[in-house]
Amino acid sequence: MLLATPFRRFVAALALGAAVSAAALGLALGQRSLGLALGVEGEAEQRVVVLGGDAQGAASEVPVGSAVRALAVADGRRCELEPVDLIEESDFLPSYAEIERFFERQQALSELLAEPAVEVEFTEPLGAARSVTIAPRERALVDLPGAFWKQLGIGAARPRRAGSRSSARRSSSSRKRPRSTARASSHCRPRRTARSPRSTTPVR
């Protein structure tokens, strides 16, 4: 059988982890970027602020510390940004209704960023209201937040750990009962537990 030996199971787990990681990375890089690094600032009244941005192009015209109010496109669609748009785990939201609303907003923002030009409405640190039109660009590896790489590493390690545990259990079984190795390997299966999927939907 193709996966009859512990080594082959371990290799299959490695291949699965690599494939899942590559797919996640491809999806993340497929999202468009304004070239602005956004964050949340404030305690009682939170707001979305610019933490940094591209050194060249229209994004460089948005000062660091500016509060981003909304994104708009030529056909009239407009979305006011909220601090919740930047959360990295929708699991933290208190209700299914808010989770559904979060994903609806993420979809709307993604559709805006798919347009050739996006108007960024913001308020400068000194209080002046301005807007700049930015052409969204393809994401680069450096645009992906640290939380994405952390989740990617955790997700990639799970199949490898499962393969290692399977190999270890089979090796342990063979040491304890050397005369029944073939029979034991045909019935021994690792325990599988259901895990709730996590979503990482950064808006940058």
The mean per-residue pLDDT over the stretch 39-56 comes to 90
Distances (CA, A) of 188 to 15, 79, 160, 172, 184: 22, 54, 18, 11, 6
Can you tell me the distance from the alpha carbon of 122 to that of 70, in angstroms, rounded to the nearest whole number? Answer: 7
More confident residue, 151 or 120: 120
Mean pLDDT lowest for which of 154-158, 169-173, 174-178, 189-193? 189-193
Q: Is the pTM of this model over 0.75?
A: no
Which residues fall within 8 angstroms of residue 155, CB to CB, at 6 or more apart? 17, 20, 21, 24
The mean per-residue pLDDT over the stretch 106-112 comes to 92
- Which CATH superfamily, name and number, covers 33-138? PDZ domain (2.30.42.10)
- The pLDDT of residue 55 is 83
Token pair 């799970």 is at which residue? 158
- The pLDDT of residue 10 is 67
Mean pLDDT lowest for which of 18-22, 112-116, 185-189? 185-189
- pLDDT category of residue 143 using cuts at 50, 70 and 90: low
Q: What residue type is assigned to position 31 of the chain? A: Q
Can you tell me the distance from the alpha carbon of 197 to that of 28, in angstroms, rounded to the nearest whole number? Answer: 17
Can you tell me the distance from the alpha carbon of 94 to that of 36, in angstroms, rounded to the nearest whole number? Answer: 29
- The pLDDT of residue 103 is 93
Collapsing DSSP to helix, strand or coil, 25 comes out as helix
Residue % of the chain over a pLDDT of 70: 57
